[in-house]
Amino acid sequence: MENKKVGIGAYIALIFAIVFFSGIFGGFEGWLQIFDFNTLVGKFGQIAAEGGNFTFRGSGGTGARDGFLFALNLMPTVIFALAMVAVLEYFGALEAGRVLLTPLLKPLLGIPGSAGLTLIASLQSTDAGAGMTLDLHKEGEITDNQKSIFAAFQFSAGATITNFFATGGALYALTTATGETAVQVPMIIPLALIFVLKVFGANVMRMYVKAGR
């Protein structure tokens, strides 16, 4: 693809995109949360019913009808993510990502720097990452083999940041009978291990596609 001129505005757009999709502002209080992707995606309201509260999807559904509602449930996240990327692409964020991130992502995963925004988004939302990866492939930013490698990276520990701090982080609140913290390992260690294994898995796929599948 033809490289376009990258100005200061493109780098500002890239920085904003990294902050927006990374979840940095997700734990803040007040108006700063508007800079967080998951906060703006929001959540569906619940319908009060006998036996508990439910979303529009209900409870106990099966078959194609429940599958349709599940897909409908994913649409806001994917549509919003793709819309934000389209706006950021207009301001040159993808070009800036190609310049800054290709030297990192190319040797590490074998994918171009223009996939950097998608990588960051996938750490918060599996749905956004999948939709943005498909969009990258359609626009010719990544090849079919690169798409497979990138999918392997995302599939392992999908939505890493969101799930780790929302679910795994709960382990650090557990205490023993004596009142001591049950998990003594610093939180950064398992999180770093997850990232290492994600990269390892992607490179296993990288070797596989390089061998000709």
pLDDT at position 202, please? 96
Contact 77, 41 (CB under 8 A): yes
193 — pLDDT class (breaks 50, 70, 90): very high
**Which of 129, 120, 104 has its CA nearest to residue 14?**
120
Q: How far is 116 from 126, CA to CA, in rounded Å?
A: 15
pLDDT at position 213, please? 58
pLDDT at position 3, please? 55
- Domain boundaries of the chain, sorted by first residue: 8-43+72-210
Among the ranges given (68-72, 130-134, 179-183), the one the predictor scored with the smallest mean pLDDT: 179-183
Q: What is the pLDDT of residues 60-115, one digit of tens each?
A: 889 999 889 888 888 888 889 889 988 998 898 888 998 899 999 999 999 999 99
Give me the long-range contacts of 87-94 (CB less than 8 A, separation at least 24).
88/13, 88/14, 88/16, 88/17, 88/117, 91/9, 91/10, 91/12, 91/13, 92/4, 92/6, 92/7, 92/9, 92/10, 92/13, 92/14, 93/10, 93/13, 93/14, 93/16, 93/17, 93/117, 94/141
pLDDT > 70? residue 170: no
Q: Which residue reads 């994918």 in tokens?
A: 111
pLDDT > 80? residue 174: no
Facing residues of 47 across strands? 54
Q: Which residue reads 């990138």 in tokens?
A: 150
Indicate the pTM of the whole model. Answer: 0.78
Q: How far is 95 from 212, CA to CA, in rounded Å?
A: 30
164 — pLDDT class (breaks 50, 70, 90): confident
Q: What angle do CA 115, 109, 41 make, to 5 degrees?
A: 35
Q: How far is 23 from 83, CA to CA, in rounded Å?
A: 18
Query: Two tokens at 187?
Result: 């939180």
